[in-house]
Structure 1
């Protein structure tokens, strides 16, 4: 699907989609609890569907039920990992969270599990797990290039585990979710400075709400008591700061945008978007029922993306709209997402007249205030497509975004919400060639 955006400011009131990061974690913890749980207020997406699909293969019964909020669903879950002997193949779609969170859990099933996927997920790094498999004598087989499909046979034993902290925090989450269920105690260490530590904090916070405790001596050092169990219950998923970032940026570039459904002082690391925008001169005010972003004169700054990599695409748009130079640093891992997001944002915004220079671990953005129109690519990456939609507000002519359907991965209603917030676009089918 190709979307052609006519430059027009966004504005209005919007209920923010639920946190996809929390949705994954709440669903997994509920699926690991013996008994019935309900997880409420989840915004449907392909990634959430992938996690439910794999958890069903592992033994959880998951039923979608109605929700009290429009555009959201709840899930009734009869939890518990089920042992089995027959091999099983599970489809993780394009969800890196699903794959990396659930590989360790698959070792609790007693089955040979084959993990498949699509798109760039097939080649996203899994070496930290391979190193653990080798040291623990867990049998595994990959495709010739080391990617998916991945077949794993074996069991996970308690003990000391070490992971690199500069690849992805998702490996830490996968082990932290699983190790408390083993019979003995374990420890988990990061061999480097732990990047995206806030995402691990989100995992620990979610686990605690579901009845499982992990002692964090410091970021990257965790003591994990074995023999614990997740508790069933009713859990609500809060609004997503990763998705809110697009609308907060839009409000600074267009008309007032008010967002509801966000919890202030959240465990979500991407809440830092509020502080970053304010540091750039953006006007964001707190209201009793939400946050308001208002048109602002932005200025360049230095942004450390080590703990907020998902914000880099939309921050690149804000930096292009700002005066002066913005330097995004510590963002090398952004190259390992659904696409190489550093290259993609530089490539596409430069097509529109931006002035962006790539560095190995970041971007230098010279603010131009405006861009001209043109045709850009979404790179099969939801965050690229949504960021380019925000960029259309500062364009002098129409911006055509090819491959715009990729927003289904995390935010299927995005284009509907764009229209509801005053965005003007036409839609046409893309070519298969």
Structure 2
């Protein structure tokens, strides 16, 4: 843990953001479920990705790391009967691996840190109760023991808590004997993440039929080894896209504009606010312009909402960010945290149960800020410093290691000014 003072400074230059964490999680799991060797290239290591690598190794997969390349062989996956999986603070690792680990009958112990134990798992507990799978857990911390085996069938899953539950089931159900069906019982939020899962499954030879909110999964399928290159991460790029829209000059060199990543919505939202995207030989950039207020639905792109709120805070008029309740069950209560940070920096903002209302201002004022042990809050605050009239002092900048360990190195290379306290 270390605090950081960020001085007001304009960012300028070209940057390559980390590659997609969402795609990397999925590629690693699919490769580890396939017989034979897959080569996954362009991996950006972070604590979350290390957690998923460790989880698949615990189940028996062979994973060799060479720089940004992973050599993954799934021939021995599922040969371990007693497994401990440390998810660190990765919600994706936890919710993806719980059903995957129950492909065969075994005892599994899930552990983790931070606030991971406070993130809901009731969807899985309901399934365990119906299928007679034994489990024991402690409230408030991740210390979960499971013994049993998942069986095929019909799974009713809510769509408004987390798409990660659905993805976890989609990974394992094709491997079970017998066909299965997932019925999503409420409006599916973060649909783009499910689309990423379906696309990755198809690349590794798995066929899923779906219509509206029902997924039909044929059993006894086999994953096929496949080589995959991970593309740039739009959720991380959103920080520098917003930076460009509010007056900085940052070009991002490794984004795929045809990407299926849901957080590509950052470009669309900023364009609706008046910013313009420009393609250059070096990459893409958002051109600064007077931003206008916006009303937006947070349900399909919750991870980029904190930094999009920064753009809203510097826009003319009053912006509304709606359907944001899921932000409350992230690494921190991101809805409340975003409101607190904006208020500390002089912004007129109102917090509602499922929304925030932001009245635009010209500049942020200096302040001491919490990062809430949340990587996205720390990065949001760094972008705010580029339009601040005083220093922003972050209580703990080390939390960026969860997804973007060298964020502040890149920030400094672009001209950002930071001092450790």
TM-score (norm 1): 0.95
2:269 aligned with 1:276, yes or no? yes
| Equivalent position of 1:118 in the other structure | 113
| Equivalent position of 2:44 in the other structure | 43
2:350 aligned with 1:349, yes or no? no
Structure 2 CA distance, aligned partners of 1:231 and 1:333? 35
Structure 2 CA distance, aligned partners of 1:275 and 1:351? 28
| Equivalent position of 2:306 in the other structure | 313
2:154 aligned with 1:153, yes or no? no
Aligned counterpart in structure 2 of residue 179 of structure 1, from 173, 190, 202: 173
**1:209, distance to aligned residue in structure 2 (A):** 1.1
Query: What SS is found at the alignment partner of 2:400?
Result: helix
| Equivalent position of 2:10 in the other structure | 9
**1:88, distance to aligned residue in structure 2 (A):** 2.2
Structure 1 CA distance, aligned partners of 2:170 and 2:61? 19
Aligned counterparts, 1:243-262, within 5 A? 243-262=236-255
| Equivalent position of 1:90 in the other structure | 85
Structure 2 CA distance, aligned partners of 1:51 and 1:384? 23
Structure 2 CA distance, aligned partners of 1:362 and 1:285? 31
2:97 aligned with 1:102, yes or no? yes
Query: What SS is found at the alignment partner of 1:344?
Result: helix
Aligned counterpart in structure 2 of residue 298 of structure 1, from 286, 291, 312: 291
- Give the alignment's Cα RMSD to 1 decimal: 1.2
| C-alpha contact 2:52 2:87 (8 A) present in aligned 1 | yes
Query: What SS is found at the alignment partner of 2:41?
Result: strand
- Where does structure 1 lack aligned partners over 5 or more consecutive residues? 67-72, 429-433
| C-alpha contact 1:252 1:296 (8 A) present in aligned 2 | yes
**1:86, distance to aligned residue in structure 2 (A):** 4.5
| C-alpha contact 2:38 2:227 (8 A) present in aligned 1 | yes
Query: In the superposition, relative to structure 1, how do residues 203 and 85 fare at CA in structure 2: closer, same or farther (>3 Å)?
Result: closer
| C-alpha contact 2:25 2:93 (8 A) present in aligned 1 | yes
TM-score (norm 2): 0.97
Q: Map Cα deviations across residues 72-95 of structure 1 (whole Å, 9 max, x no partner).
A: x11111114544564222110000
Query: What SS is found at the alignment partner of 1:311?
Result: helix
| C-alpha contact 1:84 1:111 (8 A) present in aligned 2 | no
| C-alpha contact 1:126 1:147 (8 A) present in aligned 2 | no
Aligned counterparts, 1:86-235, within 5 A? 86-143=81-138, 145=139, 148-218=142-212, 220-235=213-228
Runs of 4+ with deviation above 3 angstroms: 80-86
**1:290, distance to aligned residue in structure 2 (A):** 2.5
Q: Map Cα deviations across residues 244-296 of structure 1 (whole Å, 9 max, x no partner).
A: 00000111123321111111121111111100000011121233552111222
Structure 2 CA distance, aligned partners of 1:146 and 1:165? 23
**1:311, distance to aligned residue in structure 2 (A):** 1.0
| C-alpha contact 2:128 2:134 (8 A) present in aligned 1 | yes
| C-alpha contact 1:58 1:109 (8 A) present in aligned 2 | no
Work out the number of aligned pairs and report it.
Answer: 420
Structure 1 CA distance, aligned partners of 2:270 and 2:227? 34
